[in-house]
Chain A
Amino acid sequence: MRLKKALSKLPVWLLLAVVTIITLFPVVVAMLGSLKTNLELTTGASIFPKEWKFGNYIQAWNQADFSRFTFNSVFVAVFVTIGTLLVAAMAAYAVDRVQFRGKKLYIFLQSFTLFISIGAVVLRPQFDMMVGLGLQKSLWGVIIILISAHATAFFMVIGFFKGIPRELDEAALIDGCNFYSIFWRIILPLLRPALAVVALFTFRGAWNEYILPLVFSLTRPDLQTLPVGLASLRYGAGAAVENHLMLAGACISILPLLIVYIFANRSFMQVTVGSVKG
């Protein structure tokens, strides 16, 4: 009886094992491959490197410009996260706590940007406007446009507002707080755990963004972020693109997220479910 029960579970475990292997395969291959010589990577058919070439990372960092790509990625992701949280939290506070004219229209505009997608078309006017503002020469143009796409963050934050009782606002009002100080002193501290989750979501999006920084760096390679710089190696002018350096670069991009994910994977999952249930 016990054996039969164990056997009936066999297909389930087999499926889980296969999916696990396929899921981990590319990531493990990338990490091990980033430590091989290019020759071993492209012809060796080995699993573990014969010699652990940690020098690949130094080479990628110095010669293949990954130091600059990384700096740009950190710069964009940090400021987009701060900006998005601030803009979305302020708007969510106003929309959740105050009745004002135009509120419905505001919410409609936010959902409109979520649902209507004309793809790359919008990049052109966005870029032209940044040229007009003189911001196309730095990453600030990219940062501002990414902050402008804060509708998802807005709807996430407003979902969290339901957990903060209005009585708190009223009590603070009696104690002499006004609309602004209630936000800074009462709401923001209480929202902190929720904002951390939204920050994680926003940071991931900005860190992984490819198309927008690509468009801004077409004529300015010094603005390339990690995904853009990496992809440019694939089609790079140098015919002998070295795979081991590409993998080292890819790992520089995915390892920080992976490390955060190992410790905070529940937050990542929570935010995905929350953003759909909204």
Chain B
Amino acid sequence: MMKKRFGAYVFTFPSLLLTIVFGIYPVVWALRYMFYDYQGFGTPKFIGIDNFLRVSRDMEFWNSVWNTFIYASGKLIITIPLSLILAVILNSKLKGRQLFRAVFFMPTIFSASVMAIIFYIIFNSYNGILNQYLLKIGIVNAPIDWLGASNAMLTTIIIAVWGAVGNYMLLFLAGLQSIPEDIYEAAAIDGVNPIQKMWYMTIPLLGPVLQMIIMLAITVSLKGYESIMVLTEGGPFGKTEVMYLYLYKLFFPLTTSGAAIQNIGYGSAVGFTTAVIVGFVTWIYFWISKKLNNIY
């Protein structure tokens, strides 16, 4: 028995060591440096909560927070209903449903940054593939400035939806499989139409699964920045700058966009603030969905 317990420690040791050193320690590191003035060289200087006062006044940061909410809500408003509808359709005994599932889920296997390169070539304003086709068919007379200041956010949302629908469709499908078939059969006899079926049966019956999937979707979309970084680097004019991208730039300034300088102390404070914002949004969502549960 003793031997077995010793073996258990031996077997968890590599995992524990890696987790503490590269997973936990960096968080502790950031919790320390967020109270320091540190540019990456020289001696760090303790400055108390000055970094947080600066966060509160940093309009560029709050602009990125605002953009994150636009980006996340835009993505979710399209993704969640669409993936739920697709899941309901593909949960029926439709011919070829396996093939459709496989096709819709395909985008999730690709790298977000590689897809961003492909989408850049598609959406590029002056010689992009999409504009070429639109002009040729005659839908538009002049090329659409997909990545310009007024459309860039919309384009990043479209790309995010493209990458996400299959994933949530699959999660919904898993949830739908727990709903017994005969409830629907009874409803069909009563002459319930598909929209009523969706609103009064499927959504309430999915209940907790739906809530969990939406929560997952919220946190994932608040954190996403990879594809935006490759596609626009947050531009033009900060229109697509999301908070985790802003944070990245504080640590690793991008050469092509502006004169941002590395600022580790301040960056740590921004990192802490973004994590709190994500936590806060999640908590609000929890609170609201709990209230809604009480009403039902």
Q: Which residues of A contact B (CB under 8 A)?
A: 12, 15-16, 19-20, 22-24, 26-27, 29-30, 33, 41-45, 86-88, 90-91, 93-95, 97-100, 106, 109-110, 112-113, 116-126, 129, 144-145, 147-151, 154, 178-180, 183, 204, 207-211, 215, 218, 226-228, 230-231, 233-235, 243, 246-247, 249-250, 253-254, 257-258, 261, 265, 268-269, 272-273, 276-277
Contacts and interface: CB of A to CB of B under 8 A. Distances in A.
Lowest 4 CB-CB distances: which A-B pairs, in order? A208-B111, A179-B7, A121-B271, A148-B22
Contacts of B5: 98-100
Contact of A246 (B20, B108, B121, B129): B121
B24 A94 contact: no
Interface stretch (B43-51, B98-106, B183-191, B287-295): B98-106
- In terms of DSSP, what is the predominant structure of the interface of chain A? helix
Interface stretch (B54-62, B164-172, B200-208): B164-172
Contacts of B268: 121
Contacts of B136: 45
B89 interface: yes
Given A15-B89, A148-B22, 16 more contacts: A16-B86, A23-B162, A91-B14, A98-B7, A106-B16, A109-B16, A113-B24, A116-B275, A117-B278, A124-B267, A144-B22, A148-B19, A234-B120, A235-B256, A253-B114, A265-B105
Given A91-B11, A109-B24, A210 B117 contact: no
B15, B136, B171 — which one has the most chain A CB atoms within 10 A of its CB? Answer: B15
B264 interface: yes
B174 A273 contact: yes
A268 B118 contact: no
A218 B114 contact: no
A148 B275 contact: no
Contact of B3 (A88, A179, A272): A179
Indicate the size class of the contact surface on chain B: 35 or more
Contact of B275 (A109, A118, A218, A261): A118
> Interface centre among B24, B106, B116, by most A CB within 10 Å?
B106
Interface of B is mostly: helix
A231 B89 CA distance: 37
Interface of B: 3-5, 7-9, 11-12, 14-16, 18-27, 29-30, 82, 85-86, 89, 94, 100-122, 127, 129, 132-133, 135-136, 162, 165-167, 170-171, 173-174, 212-213, 216, 223, 225-226, 230, 233, 244, 247-248, 250-252, 255-256, 264, 267-268, 271-272, 274-275, 278
B102 A250 contact: no
Contacts of A218: 252
Contact of B174 (A19, A118, A246, A277): A277
Contacts of B14: 86-87, 90-91
Contacts of B278: 117
A40 B214 CA distance: 43
A136 B236 CA distance: 33
Given A33-B121, A100-B8, A218-B252, A119 B244 contact: yes
A273 B169 CA distance: 10
A210 B226 contact: yes
B118 to A, nearest CB: 5
Contacts of A22: 162
A178 B1 CA distance: 10
A211 B112 CA distance: 11
From A118, A230, A268, name the one whose CB has the most chain B CB atoms within 10 angstroms: A118
B289 to A, nearest CB: 17
Contacts of A250: 114, 117-118
Among B101, B108, B109, B170, max chain A CB count under 10 A is at B109
A92 to B, nearest CB: 9
A45 B133 contact: yes
8 contacts: A45-B135, A86-B14, A118-B275, A119-B244, A144-B18, A210-B111, A254-B114, A277-B174
Nearest to A122: B26
A204 B7 contact: no
A90 B103 contact: no
B174 A90 contact: no
A144 B11 CA distance: 17
Give the interface centre of B23, B114, B251 by most chain A CB atoms within 10 Å: B114
